[in-house]
Structure formats: C-alpha cells, structure tokens
A and B are shown apart, each in its own frame.
Chain A
Amino acid sequence: MDNQALSALREVFGERLDTSREQCICYSYDATGKMFLPDAVAFPTSADEVRRTILLANERLFPVIPRGAGSGFSGGSVPVQGGLVLSMERMDRILSIDEENLVAVVEPGVVTETLKEEARKRGLFYPPDPASLKFCTIGGNIAECSGGMCAVKYGVTRDYVLGLEAVLGTGELVRTGVVTVKGVVGYDLTRMLVGSEGTLGIVTKAVLKLIPYPETIATILAFFRSNHDGSKAVVGIIGERITPCALELMDRTAIDCVRENAGLPVPAEAGCALLIEVDGPKESVSAEAERVEQACRRYGAIEVGRAADAEGRERLWTLRRSISPALRQVNPVKINEDIVVPRSRLPEMLAFLADLASRQNLRIVNFGHAGDGNVHVNVMISGTDEDERRRADEAVAEVFRKTVALGGTISGEHGIGISKAPFLEMEVGPLGVSVMKRLKTCFDPNGILNPGKIFVEEGMARR
C-alpha cells in the first residue's frame, strides 16, 4: 500500500487505522496458524466507513480483507497478499430483536453466543452453533456459512439469513433479501453472499431468522465396539424417521485421547461413541429418546446412558468436548478437515479412514457431526518430520478424492480459503470454477476483496 492510500485511509479512520508492526502481527493469522502480514489494520464502526474504504481500494488498488474473530480453519481472514485488514469486531451491536416477527437485526461483529443468549432470554433460538461460538462473529459465520452440532436438525447459517446489507467489491452498498419469512424477488443475492468468504462483499448488517426455543432436550450417550456398529447406528436412527438435534460420533482414536479424563467411565471395549440429542415438546422428546436408545441397542451398543437433567447432560458432553483440547497429546500439529458424505456412506468412509491411517502410517483422529455425514478428519503430525508432512498431504488429497467419489463435499462448514483452494476444481469441475470466477468479476471487478482465496493463484503455496 502506498502512502497516499494510507493517508486517505487516515482521513476515514483517524486513530482507528494502525500500521504498527505489532498491530499488523496481531491481524496476520487465524486458527490455521498460517501467518501473512497486512500493511495496515482498520476498525470500522459504520457501513459508510467500509464503503469509503472499498472506494479507496479501487482507486489505489490495494487488497481489503474482512475479519471477524480470526477463528476460521481455512485461512479465510489471512491477508495472503498484504493490504488492509478490516477488523469488524467494533461493529458489534444487536440492533433489534423483533419478537413478533421472530427476526434479529445485527451488525457483523456480534459474537455468535451473544446473539444466542439474547434470543434465549426472549424464549427464542438462533440455532447455528459452530464450536467457536463463544468467540466467533456473525459476520464470520455468514462469510464461511458456519454449521455446527445442530445442523442435522436445524441447518446452517445460510438457513437463518433472511437479508443482508453489504458493501460490494465495487464500493456500492447493497441491501439484499427480505425481512419476511418468504421472498422470491429476483436472484437470491443473499445466498450468493453467504459463504462467499469475503470475496464478493463485506457484510455490514444482517437480518436473521429466529425460531421458538425448544421446550426440552434429552441427551443420550451410547458406546459401540466399532466404527462399523456406530456408523450403522447413525444410519439406523435417521432411518427411524427421527431427527436428532445433535448426533455426534467419536471414533476409537478420539475416545482413546480422552479415555482417562472423560469424567465418566468408558467401557474398555468401546471403539466408537455416539452422543445423541433430541429436543422438542416434553412428551415427544421422551418417546423419541426411547426409540433412539432402542435403535442403538439394535445396532450393537454395549452401553447406553441418558441424562435427565442439565448436570447429567453436561457430564455426557464432557466426553465430546474434551477431545479437541486432548488432540495435542497425540501430536502437536493438527491438519483439520471437515468433509461430508451422504449419511449412508459413513460406514464406508470411516473404514477408508482407518485403512488410510495404517497405510500412510499416520495418526488420524475422526469425530464430528455424523448426523449430517460431516466428519472432522484430524491428521495429527509432529510438524518437524518432512516425510510425515508429505504423507499427510497425500492422505488429505486421498480423503478428498474418496469424499467426492462417495458423492460428498470436501468442506461442510470451514470453507475453502487457502487450505482447500487446490481441491476446489476436484469437486465443482472446471465449468463450476469458471462460473464462480465470472460471478466474482461482477461483484468485485478489480479483485480488491480478499484476493488469493477460494481460487488457486499463481505461485501460491499449496497448503
């Protein structure tokens, strides 16, 4: 960025523009741990400041990278080509929660949990629940179309975005979508922006759908001997015409990480665990929980437990929640993928992953939102062994090929960013990539917004 650009930005932001090395370092990374220094960081507090920034960027041609909390897993907010990071964390107001129309209007920097809590106080529910919900932001969730545990029943971020206010790559402030439940007027620009990873526009306001908070919830933990039994049970439960609001699977490698400190006894022969939740009116929940337990036993569960109260629920969840932090004990560096396969293909996918781990001599820990076919494949490596790194990269490519072959998708909720850019074409094909690139040109003709993401750029590192 040149001095003219910086002094023009200074007029927009004053003290809220920072070019110090220290501030730039603090906005150079996300949860992937990859680091690229920006030239400057700015903290907008209004849509107009964002708009003026993009206009300037088009004039002076510098990259602008929107950033929420930097908790992403695909490098979406990392400034790979330098430029200006727009940290949206200070636009963090909940503007309204309309209890008659069940709609919330929020700024992008609102932390997801804050919105969930405010909704809950009013008996309302904003379902999307990415694992980082305590710190990630609505803007980031919209950019990546975040999912979470309850996606199996309630869907993902896109299912709750009714309308947006956003600054496009041209610097135009656009309002998309509706504030009503329905709306089919013209192309669905809202959905176009959701999941676009900050490459088409920067969200400055979001209109979100809320639903009534479920009356009650039941939690069931079932242990199985093998991934095979466990994943068959997943298919079985869905086959029962039950839609759990969480259906989490932990494979043997995941259970082994936490066997000692799970906070509850884990049967010695357990090689797979399912954590299942059903919610809704009291009567139907207890009947459904009963049927879930029966289904688990039918598929060979060796132990099934149900929590009756919040405390018991918390205890069962401890097993699932302890896994991520415990992964470090396996190996310090985590390559975290989030593939999805049709649920019926889960048994095949898990068998493939077990075989892959032994073939490539790697530690691969699998767990995730099995109810929607989403598996978090965590290849755990030392980070110091070059050959291991190469085998891990190969393994990840194999996982993606298998996923696509099974009719699945290579990213359920993390997005493409830089981590998966080399594999985009594998799933969507050359025509798919070409259509996407043409759309990108409409929204951002000068390639100002978040360059180097989603599409492979010349000379960019593969991982």
Chain B
Amino acid sequence: MRREDLAALTAACAKCGTCRTVCTLYPERKAEIAVARGKVVLVEAAASGLDGDAEALQEALSDCLLCGRCERACPNQVAVEEIVMKGRGDLAEELGIPAWKQVVFGKVMPSAGGKEAARAAAAASQKLFLRKVPTESGLHYRFPSAFGQSGRTVPALSGESFLGSLPRGEAVRGEVLLFVGCVFDHVFPQVGRAAYETLRLSGKGIAVLRDAPCCGLPALVSGDRPSALRCVEENVRRLSEASPERIVFPCGSCLVMFRRNMLSLLPKEHPLYGDAVRVADRCEDYASFLLETGVLSRLPAPREGERPGRIGYHDPCHLSGTLGRGGEGREVLRRAVGDSFGEMKGADLCCGYGGTFNIRDYPTSAKIGQNKVSVAAEGGTAVIATACSGCILQMRDMAARTDPSLRVVHIAELVFQAFSSR
C-alpha cells in the first residue's frame, strides 16, 4: 500500500465509533470490520506493515457499499470513500484484478463499440437462458438458481439502445450536452429518451456523445485504476472538444465520478488535469438543470385524482449524500406530479446496490435492497422515483422479487409523461 497518501487520510480518524451508527452494512455483518473505523485502522495497519494477508485485506475493503454515510456522519470528516477506493486500487496493483472484472472494465466499458456488442450478446443470451417475470416497471428475467444468484432478476434488454435509436445527424451539436450513461443508454433506453426529450424543452440545443466511454466509476470502485483512468482521459478529451456550456447527467453515480472522483484519480501534473477541472465545473444533475432553466414552469398544473403521496423520491447516496443534491429531485417531482408526490418512508436508506458489491455478495445486497423497498411500500409508496442508474437497477430487481406492483422509475420518465399527457 502507498503509505504517504493514505497515512494523511487515515490520521484524521479519532476512533470514536460514530460510523457504527450509520453504516449500511453493519446491521448485516455485526462486526467492526464492516464499518469505516475498522477499515481505516486496517489500512493504517497495512501502511505501517502490521497487516497480515493482502488478499484478506482486499476482501475486507471490498466489503463496502461506498454509500458514504459514515463520511457524512463523521465528526472529523474522514475521507472514508477515498481511503477505501485508494486501498482497493493499491491492492489491485499488488494482487491483480479478478479476471471477469478485467474483461468488463478493460475491454468493454472504455469503448462504445464494445458496449454495443456486449449488449447484443447479453440480450440474445437472456432469451435463451432466463425465465420471464412481468413487473410494473417492465419485463424482467429471473436467473435460474444454478447461477448461484438465487432469485436475481435482470431487466429485459430491448433490441435497440437509446443512442442507437437517434437518427444520424440529430443531437450532434448544442450548448448543452446530455451524458446519458451506459445503463440509461442500453438497459433502460426509455430513461435516456425521456431525459433527452425533456431537456430539449429548455429551448437549448441538446447534444449527445454517440460513442462516449463509460464514466469509469465501476472500474474505479473495483480498484481498476488503469481502466478508470482510460475512461476519464477519453471522456475529458471528448468533452473538452465538444466544449458545451453545461453537461447534464441523469445518473447520480456518473455525476459523482465527473464532479469528484475524477479529480482525485487524475494526478495534478496530468496534462488533462486543467481540462478535467473545467469539465467538472460544468457538470450537473438532471433535476438541477430543469429547475435552473425553468422548463417545468411551462407545465400546466398537475391533475387531481391520484392518491396523494403515492409517488416517492429515493435519495441516491452519491447524488443526495455525496453531492448534497437531494432537494432538487423532490422539487422536480412536486412540479411534475403535484400532490401525488409525498416524502417516502426510508427515503435516504441506501438501496444496497453498491456497484460491484451487488455482484460480489448478492444475498446481502438483496437483503438491504428488499428492506429498502419494503419500508417504502409499507409507508404507502407505490412508485419510487429516483435519479441514479444503479439504484434503479437494484430497486427494480428488489420489486420484482418482493412486490411486482411497485414501480421504480427515473424522475425524467415522470416529467416526460407529464408533458406528454397534458
């Protein structure tokens, strides 16, 4: 492990234990190794040569959702997410990255063609291997139990990605750039479409990058710094070239990568660092952009008739927590659906997705996620709206498993619907 970087970050921990109160994982593990204080001390110990087995340490650091709740509760503002991500990165350099991750992050994600091919292959294999489950949020497939992912469902991949469906020559230039993100392009193209159509209502020119690489967050949180760096470099280059006034993100996780993680990943002396800072400054979330440009003021008053409070807002950890953008999504909903919006029970509970955590330990991820959606449903929420691709993937799976009548949507879908129906 790289001592100097990490020692400065871990020294701030006073070992008080406050992180135990908010950790999403602690109630499942009931062991100090799950919480931030344990992980910080492990990293500190490793940096001073006290650690045992590097693989066991890698295992301990992987067992974290990176929800950041500890960091926000910490009286000393210890940078837990950065410590865990740096630790994972250092260990990956020492031990290597698991083979499946290498293929996905190293080959598929940095290139658009790779993603397109992977999606086509995945869509085809779904039809062959998986069982169909109808849900309110659309068709899902259920994994057979032989896959070791007991009960997991995945959304049915449509034939065409959102960007693939855009006519050639459309959305090439514009002062505003929509960064769709992999999931909203390929898995839920209807979200990409809804975001695009509603951004256009601002009257500004909306452009997209047709072959943008992944934001790099999945690679970064897995400790695969080289792949993450390749994604970032390519994105910064492309976005600097396009030079939009604003870059709008429907996905909170892509946004946190651009606004925060990208800058701690790129060394200050990197030739693209200055460009990256300029790009980061122009990035913002979908809801903030809508509010800022006044798009919603053109929306007629919402119709009465639906049960008040049936639509709730889920706080994505990265967007509401790390970036402090929790109010904007709610305000957009209030304007789009009126009284149908109501504060959801357990709105700020993490969905349990945690990026690759969901793949690493699906049973625990699912337990946290099922609790999340059950608490919401018990509180009377019938539709969970949010603004992060990971949360939507996870909560749709959880709804399919526990309560298929529960809908999980992106706020853009409800805004689009409001404009289309009135």
Contacts and interface: CB of A to CB of B under 8 A. Distances in A.
B304 interface: no
B21 interface: yes
Given A134-B21, A324-B75, A325-B76, A22 B33 contact: yes
A87 B11 CA distance: 25
B60 A132 contact: no
Nearest to A132: B17
Given A21-B51, A325-B75, A334 B14 contact: yes
B242 to A, nearest CB: 41
Nearest to B60: A22
Interface stretch (A24-32, A93-101, A161-169, A290-298): A24-32
B124 interface: no
Interface string B1-34: 0000000000110111110110000000011110
A27 B32 contact: yes
Contacts of B50: 25
A43 interface: yes
Contacts of A135: 17-18, 20-21
A20 B52 CA distance: 8
B172 interface: no
Contacts of A30: 15
B359 interface: no
A69 interface: yes
B53 A25 contact: no
B56 interface: yes
Contacts, number: 78
A332 B15 CA distance: 13
A87 B31 contact: yes
B11 A26 contact: no
A70 interface: yes
A390 interface: no
Interface string B379-412: 0000000000000000000000000000000000
Contacts of B309: none
B30 A21 contact: no
Contact of A26 (B14, B30, B38, B75): B38
Given A30-B15, A134-B21, A135-B17, A25 B41 contact: yes
A33 B32 CA distance: 15
B226 to A, nearest CB: 26
Given A134-B21, A325-B75, A328-B76, A22 B16 contact: no
B45 interface: yes
B42 interface: yes
Interface string B37-73: 0100110010000111100110110000000000000
A20 B56 contact: yes
Contacts of B15: 29-33, 70
Contact of B30 (A27, A71, A89, A134): A89
Contacts of B45: 25
A18 to B, nearest CB: 8
Indicate the member of B12, B33, B53 with the most A CB atoms within 10 Å.
B33
A99 B56 CA distance: 47
Nearest to A18: B31
Contact of B53 (A21, A28, A87, A89): A21
Indicate the member of A20, A26, A32, A33 with the most B CB atoms within 10 Å.
A26
B51 to A, nearest CB: 7
A23 B31 contact: yes
Interface residues of A, number: 33
A136 interface: yes
A26 B42 contact: yes
A70 B17 contact: yes
A329 to B, nearest CB: 10
Given A135-B21, A324-B75, A22 B56 contact: yes
Contacts of B56: 20-22
Nearest to A72: B17
Ordered nearest first, which 4 A-B pairs have the shortest CB separation?
A21-B52, A325-B75, A26-B38, A26-B32
Interface of B: 11-12, 14-18, 20-21, 30-33, 38, 41-42, 45, 50-53, 56-57, 59-60, 75-76
Given A20-B52, A89-B30, A325-B76, 18 more contacts: A22-B57, A26-B38, A31-B15, A31-B17, A35-B41, A43-B31, A69-B17, A71-B17, A111-B21, A132-B17, A132-B18, A134-B18, A135-B17, A325-B75, A328-B12, A328-B14, A332-B11, A334-B14
Given A21-B56, A328-B12, A26 B31 contact: yes
A268 B60 CA distance: 49
Given A70-B17, A135-B20, A26 B53 contact: no
Nearest to A133: B21
A86 to B, nearest CB: 13
A21 B54 CA distance: 10
A23 B32 CA distance: 8
A30 B76 CA distance: 16
Interface string A76-117: 000000000001011010000000000000000001010000
Contacts of B57: 22
Contact of B33 (A26, A70, A71, A92): A26
B41 A26 contact: yes
Contact of A90 (B30, B51, B53, B75): B30
Nearest to A92: B30
A455 B45 CA distance: 29
Interface string A36-51: 0000000100000000
B16 A71 contact: yes
A23 B33 contact: yes
B383 to A, nearest CB: 30
B101 to A, nearest CB: 22
B287 to A, nearest CB: 27
Contacts of A113: 21
Contacts of A111: 21
Contacts of A32: 15
Contacts of A89: 30-31
Contacts of A328: 12, 14, 76
Contacts of B16: 31, 71, 132
16 contacts: A20-B56, A21-B52, A21-B56, A22-B51, A22-B53, A26-B31, A26-B32, A26-B38, A26-B42, A30-B15, A33-B15, A35-B41, A89-B30, A90-B30, A113-B21, A328-B14
Contacts of B17: 31, 69-71, 132, 135-136
Interface in A321-350: 324-325, 328, 332, 334
Contacts of A35: 41
A31 B21 contact: no
Nearest to A29: B15
Contact of A22 (B12, B30, B42, B76): B42
A94 to B, nearest CB: 15
Contacts of B75: 324-325
A300 to B, nearest CB: 33
A30 to B, nearest CB: 7
Given A20-B52, A135-B20, A29 B12 contact: no
Nearest to A328: B76
Interface in A45-83: 69-71
Given A22-B52, A90-B30, A328-B76, A33 B14 contact: yes
